[in-house]
Every structure is written in structure tokens, then in C-alpha cells.
Amino acid sequence: MKYTITDALKTTGKSFYIKNNDYNEIKWGDKSEIPTLKWCEDKRDEMQADYDAKKYQRDRASAYPPLEDQMDLLYHGGVDALKAELKKVKDKFPKP
């Protein structure tokens, strides 16, 4: 995923319209504090950094066995067998 300035603007909770994809032509639904382009760029970069930092979580989520298989392993192999299986995924995709 690649975040955009539009994504940053959405976090303000304000209604807005971007005319002709030109960020200098943003029309706001109200006149309360309007964020600057610099704020939008910083917010976008912050959102992107947060998303990128959590890649390991997305990788783990798709690599873990389905819950049904985990429950079966827990029933037949016990907690230690389940922990060992989950540790394989955690070791493959460590936290940064």
C-alpha cells in the first residue's frame, strides 16, 4: 500500500474536494483550521512509515496455520506443540 496526501486529508475528519487532482485547489466543507500541504505530506509519510513497520504482522498473519489446524494441533499435541508451530512463523518473520 502506498499512502497519498488524500489519505492524510481523510484523517482530519473534514469534508473536502480536490479539484482536478491539484492539491492547491482543495475546497473545504467548513472554514475551521485547514491543514497545510506540509502537514499533509508529514501525515502521509507518518502513515506510510507506520504501515511499512508492520509488514512483519501482515506476513505472519498469512503464514500462520488456519485456526482449525491450530486447535487440532493443540488438542492432539498440546500447548507445547502449538507454541513450537507458531514460533516457526515468528522466527521466519521477526519483529524489526
User: Is residue 59, in this structure, part of any structural domain at all?
Assistant: no
User: Is residue 58, in this structure, part of any structural domain at all?
Assistant: no
On whether the pTM is more than 0.85, the answer is no
Do the beta carbons of residue 44 and residue 8 sit within 8 Å?
yes
User: Is residue 73, in this structure, part of any structural domain at all?
Assistant: yes
Query: Are 23 and 48 members of one domain?
Result: yes
User: Is residue 22, in this structure, part of any structural domain at all?
Assistant: yes
User: Is residue 42, in this structure, part of any structural domain at all?
Assistant: yes
Number of structural domains in the chain: 2
Q: Enumerate helices (H) and strands (E) in the chain, giving the number of each.
A: 4, 2
Query: Are 49 and 70 members of one domain?
Result: no
d(CA 76, CA 82): 10
Query: Are 27 and 48 members of one domain?
Result: yes
Q: Which set of grid coordinates corresponds to residue 54? A: 508492520
User: How much is the pLDDT for 26?
Assistant: 80
Instruction: Give the length of the chain.
Output: 96
Query: Are 41 and 75 members of one domain?
Result: no
Q: Which domain holds residue 73?
A: 64-92
Query: Are 41 and 77 members of one domain?
Result: no
Q: Which set of grid coordinates corresponds to residue 69? A: 489446524
pLDDT tens digits for the chain (96 residues)?
999 999 999 998 888 888 787 777 787 877 777 888 899 999 999 999 999 999 999 999 999 999 999 999 999 999 999 999 999 999 999 998
DSSP assignment string, 62-80 = HHSPPHHHHHHHHHHHHHH
User: How much is the pLDDT for 82?
Assistant: 97
